[in-house]
Amino acid sequence: MESKGYRWSRRAVGFVALLLVAATVVLGLWITPPDIVQGQLVRLIYVHPPVAWVAYLAYGVTSIGSVLYLWKRTRNLKWDLLAASSAEVGVIFTGLTLITGSIWGRPAWGVWWTWDARLTTTALLFVLYLGYLALRRVPADSHQRAVRSAIAGLIAFIDVPIVHQSVVWWRTLHQSATVLNATLSPKIHGEMAMTLLLGFIAFTFVYVWMLMHRYQIADMEQSVLDIELEQLIEERQREPESYSDQAVLTQDVDQIDQPSKV
Amino acid sequence: MDGSGSGGEASNLPRVAAKLKARTLPSKRKARRAWAVVAIVVASIGFLLYKGLGNSLVYFRTAAGAWNDRAQLGTSTFRLEGVVVPGSIHTTSGGVDFAVESSNVSVEVHDTANPPQLFQPNIPVVLVGHFSGSIFQSTQIMVKHSSNYIAAHPNRVATVNGKKL
């Protein structure tokens, strides 16, 4: 069950996230100046790079959770649940990255979408982690699911540095990194830079809040599964003869499958 | 087990079997569905890799590179990148004429599409089209803006005692 401390810390994180997002909205829409080239379009910078960063962060957490599960000394199902929860939040933020990028791209570039390396590898990242989540839905026991998911999660993570470096390694329509560039020198003016930084912090808090919620749900789902399993075992123990005669049982199941003959 | 002999257990069997069926068959169906989703995702990954390898790795040719290779390129459609030369933009009835430059090589462009709102002198653009003689016939202009963000009115903030805030 959820502890009081966990509930309060989650609420506190949510409250801080709300305040920071509100501050980012106010600064981003009303206080910061327009850009000399992009004009008002620049305001999307306070959302688009932060949500992309959160997607990277989420997949990083998924990878850490996966490694901790695969490593026998730290193996615990909670790492698997953390990895899965973070991947789910990461997929939402990758989707937001693609949507906000597209909204920004139409007026700035002139197209909603183009097959350049940055956009293609980001779409690939989205699909890879959708695949990770789909793989988790394939019925299996908890350990088997955790192992195969951890391996899939680590393979998918290979795409994260490729996405980030795509604008450096290949010719792209997408511009190079403004903040996380090779020299780590932000190429953005003062109050715009501060608001962008605030956006990064705000969306990181949103991520932490969402992760805490999702992890809690995943933990509860696991508890329900455990209870169901216990009930099933108890049921079997109560009716041992009914289950032991497999031939009769199979026959009965077959009879249920067949339409009744008059 | 004799069904007629132990009446209570025998009557239990269909119920237990039905329970088992309810638990196992949906699970099998669920597994099939889940594997189908995984297969769709794998196919999507394959499609993205195909598109990525086909289009992304050489997304555009620079104006200088394309100009040097124009005999080889012929009339094939490709993407060309360059910076819009100031003073070269002329709106015509059929579109817009301008020149793009890279590495001191200038290429004349005739465009038949609507330029995006950020299209302006000195901005890098990626054009989709083909060479027709020495002129690049463009059907699409995409603006490739830089990663620098500069305030449009850096001096708009009020001053106090002659000093900028």
ipTM confidence: 0.75
Q: Which of A148-152, A174-178, B86-90, B99-103 has the lowest mean pLDDT?
A: A174-178
Domain that holds residue B115: 61-143
Residue B53 has pLDDT above 70, yes or no: no
Using CB atoms, pick whichever of B16, B38, B123 lies closest to residue A135: B38
Cβ–Cβ below 8 Å for B142 and A114: yes
Q: In this predicted structure, what is the pLDDT of residue A197?
A: 93
Q: Do the Cβ atoms of B27 and A135 come within 8 Å?
A: no
Q: Do B118 and A41 touch (CB under 8 A)?
A: yes
Nearest beta carbon to residue A171 from set B13, B21, B60: B60
A37: confidence class by pLDDT, cuts 50, 70, 90: confident
For the cut 80, the answer to whether the pLDDT of residue B27 exceeds it is: no
- Based on the fold, state whether residues B19 and B35 are members of the same structural domain: yes
Residues 6+ apart with CB under 8 A from A117: A166, A167, A169, A170, A171, A172, A174, B52, B56, B57, B59
Confidence of residue A254 (pLDDT cuts 50, 70, 90): very low
A33 touches chain B (CB under 8 A): yes
Mean pLDDT value across chain A = 88
For residue A260, is pLDDT > 60? Answer: no
Check whether B5 has a pLDDT greater than 60. Answer: no
> Could you tell me if residue A253 is inside a domain?
no
Q: What is the mean pLDDT of residues B139-162?
A: 72
Give the angle A27-A12-A74 at the CA atoms, nearest 5°.
115
Tell me whether A236 touches chain B (CB under 8 Å): no
Q: Are residues B116 and B76 in the same domain?
A: yes
**Rounded to the nearest 5°, which phi and psi values hold at B131?**
-80, 140
pLDDT number for residue B41: 83
C-alpha–C-alpha distance, residues B7 and B103, integer Å: 94
CA distance A177 to A172: 12
Q: Over pLDDT 90: what percentage of chain A?
A: 61
Model confidence at A55, pLDDT cuts 50, 70, 90, reads very high
pLDDT at B155: 59
Residue A93 within a domain: yes
Q: How much is the pLDDT for A183?
A: 74
Q: What is the mean pLDDT of residues A121-134?
A: 94
Residue A20 CB neighbour total at 10 angstroms: 19
Q: Could you say which residues from 90 to 149 on chain B have a Cβ atom under 8 Å away from some Cβ of chain A?
A: 115-120, 123, 126, 140-149
| Res B2 pLDDT > 70 | no
Give pLDDT tens digits for A176-228. Answer: 888 777 777 777 888 899 999 999 999 999 999 999 999 999 999 888 888 88
Weakest-pLDDT range from A11-15, A54-58, A175-179: A175-179
Q: What is the mean pLDDT of residues A102-118?
A: 92
Q: Is residue A241 part of a domain?
A: no
Residues B109 and B90 in one domain: yes
Q: Please give the average per-residue pLDDT across A134-142, as a whole number.
A: 88
- Structure confidence at residue B158 (pLDDT): 46
A233-249 average pLDDT score: 66
pTM: 0.80
- Judge contact between A85 and A173, C-beta under 8 A: no
Does residue B155 sit within a domain?
Answer: no
Mean pLDDT of A73-92: 96
Looking up residue A164, the CATH number of its domain turns out to be 1.20.120
Is the distance from CB of A193 to CB of B151 less than 8 angstroms?
no
Q: Choosing among A167, A253, A255, A256, which should be mutated to test the B contact, i.e. which has the most B CBs within 10 A?
A: A253
How many domains, in total, are found in chain A?
A: 1
According to DSSP, the residues that pair with B80 across neighbouring strands are: B61, B127
Please write the tens of the pLDDT for every residue from B69-78: 988 999 999 9
Question: Does residue B43 lie within any of the structural domains?
Answer: yes
In a domain, A178, yes or no: yes
Test mutation, B1, B147, B155, chain A, max A CBs within 10 A: B147
**Among the listed residues A78, A75, A70, the one whose alpha carbon sits nearest the alpha carbon of residue A221:** A78
* Beta strand pairing call for B135-143 and B105-111: parallel
Instruction: Indicate whether A78 belongs to any domain.
Output: yes
Q: Is A12 helix (H, G, I), strand (E, B) or coil?
A: helix
Residue A60 lies in a domain: yes
Q: Which residue's structure tokens are 């070269």?
A: B88
Assign B36 a pLDDT band (cuts: 50, 70, 90).
Answer: confident
Q: Tell me, yes or no, whether B38 and B103 share the same domain.
A: no
Question: Who has greater pLDDT, B28 or A77?
Answer: A77
Residue B127 lies in a domain: yes
Whether B43 shows a pLDDT value over 60: the answer reads yes
Determine the pLDDT at residue B88. 94
The pLDDT score that the predictor gives to residue B154 is 59
Question: Per the CB < 8 Å rule, is A170 touching B119?
Answer: no
Average pLDDT, chain B: 79
Cβ contacts (< 8 Å) between B14 and chain A: which residues? 252, 255-256
B67 with B110, same domain: the answer is: yes
- pLDDT exceeds 50 at position A28: yes
The residue among B53, B149, B153, B157 with the most chain A CBs within 10 A of its CB, best to mutate, is B149
Query: Phi, psi at residue B109, to the nearest 5°?
Result: -125, 135
Domain boundary among B57, B90, B105: B57
Residue A54, pLDDT above cutoff 70: yes
Q: Show which of B57, B73, B90 is a domain's final residue.
A: B57
Is the pLDDT confidence value at B7 over 90?
no
In a domain, A167, yes or no: yes
Is the model's pLDDT at B22 over the cut of 70? no
pLDDT, residue B55, reads 65
d(CA A18, CA A20): 6
Residue B56: pLDDT over 70: no
Do B66 and B85 fall into the same domain? yes
Of the candidates B6, B28, B34, the one whose C-alpha atom is nearest the C-alpha of residue A253 is B28
Among residues B57, B83, B103, the one where a domain terminates is: B57
| Domain limits for position A196 | 4-211
Say whether both B95 and B133 belong to one domain.
yes
